[in-house]
A and B are shown apart, each in its own frame.
Chain A
Amino acid sequence: MAVELSFTKEIENIMYASHGKPIKDCIQCGTCSGSCPAVEFMDNSPREVIGMIGANLKEEVLATNTYWTCASCYQCTVRCPAGIDIADMMYALKRYSMWKGQYKEGLLGPDFSEAFVKMIVNSGRSFEPILAATYLPKYSARDIIQEGLTATGLVLSGKMPLLPKKVKRLKNLQRMVRRIIPIGETK
């Protein structure tokens, strides 16, 4: 008979290299939530999300904006008295939701991450103006104008180059990536 993994195990299994303590060691003290600089913009606090994972509330966790609001600053990780790498757990939840293709509507994080990885696979380097194409369509008109003004100012002040650089051995890098994940053909 097939054994069904608990949600906690599923998440722990995709924290491949993280060497923190298991999520189930959480004592629900709330140090993470109290330390998080972005907590007031989260639907559920980090402590609540860990509790929800333990309670197998998969759909609820997939519907929360919490992990996509994590800035990966590791303040929770260094303070957790149970030794859980909470910031890495937030990364794992991001991966889980990308893998399931299921996340709260209107979030920019998933598109941004996907665009970022595609850009690296296509050029080996990151370049801000190309990324803008992926997130600007989701901005309001006012934000787009604001972003345009900021970018123009950066170009005029010489802080932003107009052309991206590429790695020289790009073909090798792309073959490397294909040995890790089958990404299909790149431009």
Chain B
Amino acid sequence: MKQYAYYPGCSLESLGKNYNISALAVSDELGVEMKELEDWNCCGATAYFPVDELLAYTLVSRNLAIAEKTGLQDFIAPCSACYKNAYTTNKYLKIDPDLAEHINYALEEDHLHVEGKMKVRHLIEVFIEDVGLEEIEKKVAHPLKGLRVAPYYGCQIVRPRKDKEDVENPQFFEKLISAIGAEPIDYAYKTRCCGGSLIITNRKAALDMVYKLLQDAVNSNANVIATTCPMCNVNVEVYQSQVNREFGTNFSIPVMYFTQLMGMALGIEPKRIGVGASMLSLAQSTAN
């Protein structure tokens, strides 16, 4: 069983709990082992950088250093913001020796050293690239036939550019949705930002961004929006009622983590993927 250094991130212990349990259940089912890093810290999300850039990179580096100590090769983040922070920090550590030296001076206080040698990846890449779509297709017990899924990439998983992915019109999420038997819908807002932390610091702007995204998904007759990030999930799911009040709309579209949809298709017990009864009836009503 291939092992990965797994960095859940703070959100997966609170608002994104269902993401964490479904990520682990699906990994288990697909024969990959996510080994949680010991004593990891917050990656800083989008809130450290406005205060001090070097501090932000240092705090991310502590997690990378802990991961390097495990001897494993891949650093896996299920949260897109954690992924982006770890990815860029790791890249800068490799190309900027001054930065690395400065950070390592600070890391000495925790008896750590970082080189930037991890391969930083988002959880979805492990399933698509390492396990493989064909293998996933083979393991699908209940294809989600007829379920129209809006793949919501959000921003940080594809931006800033991580070397290979198409930043304007990525397709990997669609392919995964097809592999579990569901139908990926095509809509314009799939990589448009959910507002991120503006939901706290500029509610009006963030609700407007969520509103446009929901409208586009609903106009495209999506049954469910699938997410790859706890921040997107919260903004798009929890704030739907506030969007409805603000814009006089009537949205009630389910939002699920891609791991929950995968879990349903793989036939994993609903409790183990944090899926409630309402979601199951949705899947059953469309899958016939």
Interface residues of A in 13-72 (CB under 8 A from B): 14-17, 19, 37-38, 40-41, 68-69, 71-72
Select from chain B the residue with minimum beta-carbon distance to A70: B198
- Bound complex: CA of A160 vs CA of B14, how far in Å? 5
Query: In the complex, what residues of A have CB within 8 A of residue B41's CB?
Result: 120, 124-125, 167, 173
Query: In the complex, what residues of A have CB within 8 A of residue B204's CB?
Result: 41
Contact indicator A17/B99 (Cβ below 8 Å): yes
Contact indicator B59/A41 (Cβ below 8 Å): no
- Bound complex: CA of A13 vs CA of B28, how far in Å? 47
Contact indicator A120/B209 (Cβ below 8 Å): no
Interface size class of A (residues with CB under 8 A): 35 or more
Residue A10 CB within 8 A of the other chain:
no
Cβ 8 A contact of B10, one of A41, A68, A77, A125: A125
Select from chain B the residue with minimum beta-carbon distance to A134: B200
Query: In the complex, what residues of B have CB within 8 A of residue A15's CB?
Result: 53
Contact indicator B51/A113 (Cβ below 8 Å): yes
Given the interface contacts A71-B195, A167-B40, A177-B55, does A128 sit within 8 Å of B107 by beta carbon?
Answer: no
Residue A148 CB within 8 A of the other chain:
no
Contact indicator B15/A107 (Cβ below 8 Å): no
Contact indicator B48/A14 (Cβ below 8 Å): no
Which of B49, B99, B108, B208 gathers the greatest number of chain A CB atoms within 10 Å? B49
- Bound complex: CA of A160 vs CA of B109, how far in Å? 33
Main secondary structure, interface of A, reads helix
Contact indicator B202/A109 (Cβ below 8 Å): yes
Select from chain A the residue with minimum beta-carbon distance to B61: A176
Residue B58 CB within 8 A of the other chain:
yes
Residue B163 CB within 8 A of the other chain:
no
Contact indicator B193/A71 (Cβ below 8 Å): yes
Cβ 8 A contact of B197, one of A17, A41, A112: A112
Query: In the complex, what residues of A have CB within 8 A of residue B200's CB?
Result: 108, 112, 131, 135
Binding site for B on A (CB under 8 A): 14-17, 19, 37-38, 40-41, 68-69, 71-75, 77-78, 85, 87, 91-92, 94-95, 98, 107-110, 112-114, 116-117, 120, 124-128, 131, 135, 143, 146, 150, 153-154, 158-161, 165, 167-169, 172-173, 175-177, 179-181
Q: Can you name 7 extra interface pairs (CB under 8 A) apart from A150-B238, A177-B106? A: A38-B195, A72-B196, A78-B159, A94-B50, A109-B202, A154-B238, A173-B41
Mind listing 5 A-B residue pairs with CB under 8 Å?
A41-B205, A71-B193, A85-B160, A113-B47, A176-B110
The 10 A-B pairs of least Cβ separation, nearest first, read A73-B193, A94-B50, A116-B47, A74-B159, A73-B155, A172-B110, A175-B109, A41-B205, A179-B106, A108-B201
